[in-house]
Amino acid sequence: MSDAVPPAVPPELPTPAESVAYVRQLGKPTAAEVLHAARSAGRIALQPRCGVGSHAQMMTLLRDLERHAKPDILTLTIDSHTRLKRFDNARAALLRNSAELNGYPLVTHGWQRGRELNEAVSAPLEVRHGSPDARLLFETSVASGITSFEGGGISYNLPYSKAVPLSESLSAWREVDALCGDLARRGLVIDRELFGTLTAVLVPPSISLAISVLEAVAAAREGVRCISVAYPQGGHFEQDVAALRAIPALAARYLPEDIEVHAVLHEFMGVFPKERSHAEDLILYGALVARLGGASKLITKTYLEAYGIPDTRANIDGLLLASRANSPLLDFIALDEDRVGRELEWILEEVAEIVEPVLATACVYKEIEAAFADGRLDIPFSASRYARSEVIPRRAADGAIRYLDPGALPFSDRTRRRNEADLAATGSGTRIGDMVKGLTSDINYFLNVFGESPAAPS
């Protein structure tokens, strides 16, 4: 296994037919097959986050995770240069020092090395990245035999990029989805995972799910046959369980019957506790949310989240801890189903009010762009100038995430009153100082639960 820098001009990509044939002869299941089997068995598939610049180190990392934790799906997290199509920069970093890269530059390494990674482990691979234009990355992934690909024209633009117009990202991802449709017709179903996590900070469930519904409808119209809807754990147990249970209900309402849809939970992506015992409590808590919410897959966290990029041992331990959620000994755990039912009803109503005006138009892509321009679609704390970011979320007294200010989202008076009433007990004011203080406390939610200081870790 060589870790030399690959040639400046990567070998020509194989044809789609050749890539399909390669996946068939690999002798291992696709990501879509793994997800289908996990759901049929009533268990949660587990997947870590991981990605380093060096090919040799990426190979070792994948093998170590599989050997010691046996995840169902493994990850190639892509570096920032590749996400922005700065392939020359990625190559220059490999020439200098691969440790400068914050992920694996798959396009630069090339599809032949991608196949080496694929053949090194028995679990299927998924590419995670954050690119508003992932066309070449997707083609390289497919040529590598990678059968799951994350992202979308909204969710991989607005949370990450400042100046990429929605028209560009939506068009690029439409091509990705069309290629998925072509592969499906050839017999290879690519799992298209939608990044409902968005900005990962105080994301109201209905915003997350509404964006995923729009991306899912667009993907299905291009021929995508397997869609994973990823939801970020917010921190309120019943609300998070209801959000996961909303995913199949939304699929039944808005997608064709022949699309396989999976609910995926990202374990808490906000400020993590620093104490290992507290962090591990939160990891297990998230795994139980996934179990009770009926998720097909869980994206795990580690006890080193507060300190930066986790090492291999922490990733292994996080996977092993999260796997306890599959234990039959936990069948006794029950929820307040009435509370879950109310949350589910509210989420479905809010999602409908957001997405149905968009879906009623002739061209969903043009209407998405127009709706973001005038605030009828919006996400909080966006990095992009193409989202208004007028939505202000807050936690209610019980920790559930509500809308302090829904901006121009097309909510009914009933929905607005319900959110106002639920936040009344928090004393959420409109003065900027009080609002910033309250938002900071909400963001540090689990630090407050465990009594930890928000000071930066050593």
Beta-carbon contacts of 364 under 8 Å, excluding residues fewer than 6 positions away, are 214, 217, 218, 221, 358
| Side chain identity at residue 373, one-letter code | A
Catalytic residue among 83, 245, 291, 402: 83
**Active-site residue flag, 337:** no
Q: Is 83 a catalytic residue?
A: yes
CA pair distance 428, 196, nearest whole angstrom? 26
Among 115, 128, 139, 150, which one carries the catalytic annotation? 150
Quick check: 212 and 246 in contact, CB under 8 A?
no
Work out whether strand 392-395 and strand 401-405 pair parallel, antiparallel, or are unpaired: antiparallel
Contacts of 148 (CB under 8 A, 6+ apart): 30, 31, 32, 73, 124, 125, 126, 127, 190, 191, 192, 193, 228
Task: Assess contact for 185 and 367: CB atoms under 8 A.
Answer: no
Q: How many CA atoms lie within 13 A of 424 on its CB side?
A: 7
What amino acid positions are annotated as catalytic residues? 83, 150
